[in-house]
Amino acid sequence: DTAVSQTPKYLVTQMGNDKSIKCEQNLGHDTMYWYKQDSKKFLKIMFSYNNKELIINETVPNRFSPKSPDKAHLNLHINSLELGDSAVYFCASSQAESEQFFGPGTRLTVL
């Protein structure tokens, strides 16, 4: 069974569109994260939720809005997509005193 899953794996869209990426974890973890990885592999945390509550919100444009309907799901909605949003987005989860488990990533390409 996949521990942390993301959909879709690839997303190609036009500038200005709105899109969502979904993440689910079946590990029973309390904390979930979204990261953005650029073309140079640099990994930047965007958001973190603990038990459906936002606990980390790094400097991210407000076009990005995370939503956690329950502690097993953390979705990322992006409005008015821009060229610079092209990247690989990773979801991760963790439990206190344990490491983070990452999903396989969603490669977003904005044309």
- Site residues for another protein per CB under 8 A: 4, 31, 40-43, 45, 48, 50, 55-56, 90, 92, 94-105
* Residue at 13: amino acid letter: T
Q: Which is nearer to another protein, 17 or 95 (CB)?
A: 95
CB of 87 to another protein, least distance (A): 14
- Cβ 13 to another protein shortest distance, Å: 20
Least distance to another protein from the beta carbon of 58, Å? 10
